[in-house]
A and B are shown apart, each in its own frame.
Chain A
């Protein structure tokens, strides 16, 4: 297993947001996290690269491992963890700088200054994010002038540039039009050959289309997880079936 959560409980102050969640994330697979708003799926996603550490009053018990090592151990280097476990957010959040500088940003933070090497990484990442052909002639243009779909692919390229092992995606298509959404979905299918992906989505069909495994959360609990084929054809739990078929809202 690339990542594994074991008996994870998470509290925001006195409010418990996750209850005894155990979930495995296999290498080079896409795991979709689904569930209604407030069910804990994004909270869970953020525990996978310790983004919740940034929130005051968060308390976590249980264990999350990356390649069998607990990422909550005291001696874990957070910068290195977030390099290995990158994140793409709901809304595209390019930095107010050029397309090139956006992609090169992470590598520069990690100390890379060699221009030739940076050029190679920027091209490879933009190609990997299926964006190169659209922007190769305007790498110095501001990223803020790109369309929403392009910006989101730029953010994916920015994550890929630092060569993470796991990519977390928090509703990456929720702010995008259908064509851009399809491009991102195709991209996910392509990049899973090299990366392990955990994706939060509210779009049932997206989860069905792109993921290998699906986990259903409700009220902070992991109700059911299985292969996506099973979850979308014969889920075991009635609550899962009621949710995926839109029986409750």
Chain B
């Protein structure tokens, strides 16, 4: 099977849109609410989930035929937890600043439903390369939703993007105020709902997928 066969391409592309982990599978909502108050943590979280999903998908897919069915969830969890811990140790030694930033999310990555969801639904029944691509696709599909929600929340909640002030001071002088609601998790839920709504009205065949 070649690297860029139609099946592999599908594995990579569908999670971005038609089978998006957040929009369609509605997985990973809790972390999506927690880290989207600002754009930067959203991007960091999106990328880390992408990397971890890809590699845990790859490893589980490699050993999928040996895993006893009755303890497969435990084995998946052990692999994910070991992977996340090792990655965080490597970061601590070689990229300390990143690891400090990530420290909050490490626990959230292990418990992210997307990981377990993809391992169970895809990696257990597909080859390593397709699984790897599916992991990257799912991670990026998760990441772009986080970035959209995080961007909107930071822009209207703090008037900035990536920490840089976007809304000019003259707006504030004219009476504009930041929307405090945007920094609350409830608003993330509502925004997420809106994104799903828009997505479903554009992509009509979601339910048949």
Q: Do A and B come from one complex?
A: no
Binding site for B on A (CB under 8 A): none
Binding site for A on B (CB under 8 A): none
